[in-house]
């Protein structure tokens, strides 16, 4: 997934960024709402982590603006505001989840995974795809009963296919799942990772539509 983190606390922001990156996700971190708007104009995000108290305004207004425009990107609020009324306001504004600071980073990872699964249409973290048994929460795969280890980038790429079964994904869409702003990528990066996934998970796990993109293979 590509995640937008909107958080002005530099210590917490760095910790959250590192946690998300360690989970194999791509993250762009901004500290102001105006920068968040610019980021969303330039890229597509799978999820937003939103602080409520920012230097140039309140996150609630930003969230309400997204929903008014019809933007359905999942949003998890991260805030020190811990009153029940604050939580109700956030959820009523269109948030999908609400975490009160300080929070455990492992719990944040679990919340991100849960929200992402709901939006992909399958809240169950256990998926069977042909000979593959996939645990999205544990980020583990067994192929014909044998454990398979994926790198963080291989997992991020494979997760993009699992979230959109049957849908054709272009090379540009897949590149967005792997890298944040400023990261250099080689022209054959996607081809290399797809090749590695096929070697580890089976030749038919990802299908190629020449000149168009890739899709999850039929089990």
What's the token pair of residue 80? 């020190």
Close Cβ partners of 175 (under 8 Å, ≥ 6 residues apart): 185, 189, 190
pTM as predicted: 0.72
pLDDT digits (tens, 9 = 90+) for 121-174: 666 678 889 999 998 877 889 999 999 999 888 888 898 898 888 889 999 888
DSSP, residue by residue, 17-65: HHHHHHTT-EEEEESSHHHHHHHHHHS--SEEEEESEETTEEHHHHHHH
Last residue of a domain, one of 70, 89, 119: 119
Residues 113 and 133 in one domain: no
Close Cβ partners of 59 (under 8 Å, ≥ 6 residues apart): 6, 33, 50, 51, 52, 53, 77, 79
Domain that holds residue 167: 126-216
pLDDT digits (tens, 9 = 90+) for 33-71: 999 999 999 888 989 999 999 999 999 999 999 999 989
pLDDT for the residue 181: 47
Give me the number of domains the chain comprises.
Answer: 2
Last residue of a domain, one of 61, 84, 119: 119
Residues 110 and 167 in one domain: no
Residues 16 and 89 in one domain: yes
Q: How far is residue 80's CA from residue 40's CA, in Å, rounded to a whole number?
A: 24
Question: What are the CA-CA distances from residue 102 to residues 15, 27, 81, 82, 160 (Å)?
Answer: 12, 20, 11, 10, 30
Last residue of a domain, one of 94, 119, 144: 119
**Strand 206-209 to 132-135 pairing:** unpaired
CB neighbourhood size of 142 (10 A)? 13
Q: Return the H-helix or E-strand segment holding 84.
A: helix 84-92
DSSP 8-state code for residue 101: S
Residues 68 and 131 in one domain: no
């Amino acid at each position: 997934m590509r995640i937008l983190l909107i958080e002005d606390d530099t210590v917490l922001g760095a910790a959250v960024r590192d946690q998300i990156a360690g989970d194999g996700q791509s993250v762009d971190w901004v500290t102001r709402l105006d920068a968040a708007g610019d980021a969303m104009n330039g890229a597509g995000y799978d999820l937003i982590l939103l602080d409520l108290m920012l230097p140039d305004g309140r996150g609630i207004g930003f969230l309400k603006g997204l929903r008014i425009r019809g933007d359905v990107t999942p949003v998890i609020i991260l805030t020190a505001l811990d009153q029940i009324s604050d939580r109700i306001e956030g959820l009523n504004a269109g948030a999908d989840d609400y975490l009160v600071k300080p929070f455990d980073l492992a719990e944040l990872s679990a919340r991100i995974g849960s929200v992402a699964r709901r939006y992909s249409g399958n809240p169950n973290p256990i998926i069977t795809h042909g000979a593959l048994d996939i645990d999205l929460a544990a980020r583990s795969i067994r192929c014909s009963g044998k454990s398979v280890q994926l790198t963080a980038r291989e997992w991020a790429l494979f997760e993009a296919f699992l979230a959109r079964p049957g849908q054709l994904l272009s090379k540009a869409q897949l590149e967005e799942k792997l890298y944040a702003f400023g990261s250099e990528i080689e022209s054959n990066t996607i081809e290399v990772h797809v090749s590695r996934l096929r070697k580890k998970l089976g030749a038919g796990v990802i299908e190629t539509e020449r000149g168009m993109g890739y899709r999850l293979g039929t089990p």
